[in-house]
Amino acid sequence: MRRQLVLASLTILLLATPAVAQEALDTQFFPVVARGAGLAGTMWVTDLVITNPMDTTIAVGVQFFPANQDNQFNPFFPDQFELGPGETVIAEDVLQLVFGYEEDIKGVLVVMADPNYLLGNPEGTVICAVTRTYNVGSSAGTFGQTVPSLLVNTNVGWASSFITGVRNDADFRSNLGIANTSPFGGIKVHFRIMDRHGTELTVGSKNIKIASMNQWSFAQLGVGVVEGPISVELWLDPSSMSAEPCEEAIPSAFVAYVSKVDNVTGDAEFLSAAALEPYYCGVNPQE
């Protein structure tokens, strides 16, 4: 029997759309935003852009959850603002502008328009949003990467997630990031990194704190220079899985990505992990 669609993390309806696409949902989950010093006096910052596609004014709330620490979700969203019908806004350097951070911080950003939390919003409210994390201060201009919301590829443990297109050689270096979408408990996520032939380069696991994330260079994970493309497999530890993900409003889950950086230009690509069975109960019923 097919299970009914349920609300995912923070009561979000997850739609089966491509991971690279922007999402039109009532909540957006960005697995990494950052502000910190770069080389030669440069600075890494994140911009946030939000569009209201509705024909009415809505309220939008934002929350930031720092990396590598247990965080607490605030259902009252103390940081919020209004968007008029069809309005688009940009929060440049959002971690400094909205949250007051000056440097050396990264973490998860949640953008919310769900009427269960933003009580004046009409039922069916959705927003579109995207972030860009980039380096400023160079005379050559800015360089960085666009980071979309990744809720469509939430992994609740039914199957593995995979990332392809990864490089870690003379031309590129890579970093693996994992984010915990649950505000209730920490999770354990396993990873396996493989070369072009499927040969295992390293295998391990990481504990991700409540509503948080972390990121590691491939060197930190034990992967050196590798000729050719690399793939990454990730899966949720059985001890971290919810008993019945489709019957819980906010099951234990993760999203993951690789940030691949050009060693010459410093430019980066964002590669999101694709869940073989993403959290969309109407499409992937579990018997």
- Phi–psi pair at 141, nearest 5 degrees: 110, -165
Which pLDDT value is given to residue 8?
A: 35
pLDDT tens digits for 225-265?
A: 999 999 999 999 999 999 999 988 789 999 999 999 999 88
Going by C-alpha positions, the residue among 131, 128, 117, 124 that lies closest to residue 59 is 117
Count of residues in the chain: 287
11, pLDDT greater than 50: no
pTM summary value:
0.89
The per-residue pLDDT of the chain, averaged, comes to 88
Is 154 within 8 Å of 181 (Cβ atoms)? yes
Which pLDDT value is given to residue 6?
A: 30
Which pLDDT value is given to residue 39?
A: 63
Which pLDDT value is given to residue 21?
A: 62
Average pLDDT of the segment spanning 201-208? 98
What is the distance between the alpha carbons of residues 253 and 281, in angstroms, rounded to a whole number?
A: 14
